Every structure is written in structure tokens, then in C-alpha cells.
Amino acid sequence: MKNNDAIKLLAALTFCLWFAITPVNAADLGQAKAAGLVGELMNGYLGLVDGNAPADVKALVDSINAQRRAEYQRIAAKNGVPAEEVAKLTAQKVIGQAAGGHFVQTPSGWKRR
């Protein structure tokens, strides 16, 4: 994929992804991230930082990951690239923009920004 194409893909994905999450989910996600229960994975999905997170947090992660998966697949099909590539490019951007205090996955495990 050409660099310019990757930038366009990321811009489209970021726009669609953030607007695909309902405001209630966005608020809940922000709270879960701030509490250190949820973080961004290197594969473009959310992960549980704390395996003992409450059931509603686990359900939120599952719901948002399903929305992300669908959006990755839609964008991938539109651009003729694998969904995993879309997810990975998004992960790089989202992790790079993670707020202070939020967890992100690194090759050596979870790291608080």
C-alpha cells in the first residue's frame, strides 16, 4: 500500500470509527480507560487491562470490538486490503494519540501513558 493511500485509509477509518461508537459507549469507554480497566491493543481492538473487570465493562469491550471489526472489514473491502492491515494502522494511530494515564499495549505488555 502506498503511503498516501495509507494516510487516506487512516483518515477515513478514524472518522468512521469514532462516529460509529454511540455517545453512551464513548462516555463509558472513557471512564473504563481512565479507571485502568481497558486499554488499546496493538491489533486495533480494545483489551481488558484488568481481567477482573466488571461484567458490564467486558460487555462494553465486546460491543465496541464488534463495531470496530465491522468497520475494519467495511473499509478493507472498499480499499482492497486485508482487514488486519486496517486494524493495525488504526492501532498505531490510536495508541499514538492515547491520553495520559490510559493503558496501551506494547510488545512487552501493558504500559500506562
pLDDT at 79: 87
12-16, 25-29, 72-76 — most confident range: 72-76
Strands of the chain, DSSP E: 38-40, 46-48, 103-106, 109-112
pLDDT of 102 above 80: yes
Phi, then psi, of 109 in degrees rounded to 5: 120, -165
The CA-to-CA distance between both ends of the chain, in Å, stands at 30
pLDDT of 19 above 50: no
**What is the rounded average pLDDT of the residues 32-58?**
94
